[in-house]
Amino acid sequence: MAVPLTGHAQNPPITDFLFLSCGIDTLDLGLFVSWDTTWNTTKEGLEDKKTAAQKTTGLLDKTDIGREFLHHPSGKAPNYRYQLHFPEYRIYIAISDKPGKTPNVYVTIKSETLWHVEFPTILELLELDLDSFGGTIERIQPSRVDLCADFRINPPPTLQFIQQHRVSRSTMIRPYLSGETLETFYSGSPTSPVQIRIYDKGKEIQKSNKQWFLPIWGVDTAEGVWRVEFQLRRTFLHQYRIKTIEDLWGKIGTIWEYLTAEWFSLRFPDNDKAERRTIHPWWLSVQECSERFGGMIEARRTYTTDTVEPIQKTLAHICGRLVSIAAQEGIKDRMKAILHLEELIYQRMDDEKFQSEYKKKAIKLGYRGELGGTDYEVF
């Protein structure tokens, strides 16, 4: 619930806050995959598709069970040469026919998939996709995890507020401001095992078009929503002896507790010793998310499509182009201009081109409530 902050000698600018959600927003997996005896032929096919995808937005293809995906010309440096882009995740594949001490397949699961689909279901689909190329998963190793908690905060945190209350294991900070307004605050090096980001999530989803967060948060507008997000790399996970997904699920609450109590916290400057300073009430609520993580691992939300707002933005862009074309053609009548635009579009894009571009766009947009196609529908 919203908690008013009063009665402290050094009252911060934040006057109330409301917990909205917490969860895993990024999950990268290192897979140890064994390929069957046709791997050399499969690899040649991947190489051909990689070459054909050069100078394109992605080469459309489908698996033997009808799963559509894109081949991209770029892989993932330094070890993964091939990239397969599915609606739910991206798969990066090395050229080796069997895993060594390091994974030979790397998977980045998309945010919208993580927020809406249970992990066992994601894993089942991943196994099917790799099987289409003759691959069998032997072991899964978490490589990167982003843990986050979202709050509606009023008024929003300022750089001065964070600087005055920050107690951190890292001395490196990178604030990003629009004028004097804080938009993102980083603590920790971009390449360090741990990095925290506190940022205006509401403004970010307006740019990224992730309107599906609104029903998850239970709000009508993203204004005033801020996120606390810890980015954890493999080195940190190794220190916590997280070798499997099961290890991650079992320790995720403990990890959040350490991150928000010892690695970074916001405390009142009321004691010379940082560890004895009074924890800020909002940050106490952030810390309490450690109890929520365990119970939310298998709790996923029913997908609700993007709201009408992004469509209106697209329409505004189309209307602008309509007026530009009408002015260039000297067409002053609105209906004539619309019909002329319709004719130009019809001439430029045939059914085959439309279907191809539609499928590409659907893959890039990611999960939209139907997992894996008609044969693997979840909701």
Cross-strand bridge partners of residue 230 = 147, 196
Convert the pLDDT of each residue in 201-230 to its tens digit.
999 988 887 888 999 999 999 999 999 999
What stretches of the chain adopt beta strand conformation (E)? 16-35, 59-62, 68-72, 82-85, 89-93, 105-109, 135-154, 166-168, 173-178, 181-187, 194-200, 225-233, 264-266
**Residue numbers in the chain where pLDDT is lower than 70:** 1-13, 294-314, 316-317, 357, 359-379
Residues 6+ away with beta carbon under 8 Å from 227: 148, 149, 150, 151, 197, 198, 199, 201, 204
pLDDT recorded at residue 337: 83
Rounded alpha-carbon distances, angstroms, from residue 168 to 96, 233, 259, 262: 41, 18, 10, 8
Position 222, amino acid:
A
Residues 6+ away with beta carbon under 8 Å from 74: 83
Q: How far apart are CA 225 and CA 205, in angstroms?
A: 10
- Kindly report the backbone phi and psi dihedral angles of residue 81, in degrees, each rounded to the nearest multiple of 5, phi listed first: -85, -30
Position 4, amino acid:
P
pLDDT recorded at residue 1: 39
pLDDT recorded at residue 102: 92
Letter string b/e over residues 1-21, b meaning 16 or more CB atoms within 10 A of that residue's CB: eeeeeeeeeeebebebbbbbb
Convert the pLDDT of each residue in 170-196 to its tens digit.
999 999 999 999 999 999 999 999 999
Q: Report the candidate in 56, 217, 49 with the shortest Cα–Cα distance to residue 133.
A: 49
Strand duo 264-266 + 225-233: pairing: unpaired
Q: Report the candidate in 238, 244, 24, 28 with the shortest Cα–Cα distance to residue 143.
A: 28
Convert the pLDDT of each residue in 75-120 to its tens digit.
999 999 999 999 999 999 999 888 888 999 999 999 999 999 989 9
pLDDT recorded at residue 365: 63
pLDDT recorded at residue 11: 46
Cross-strand bridge partners of residue 266 = 166
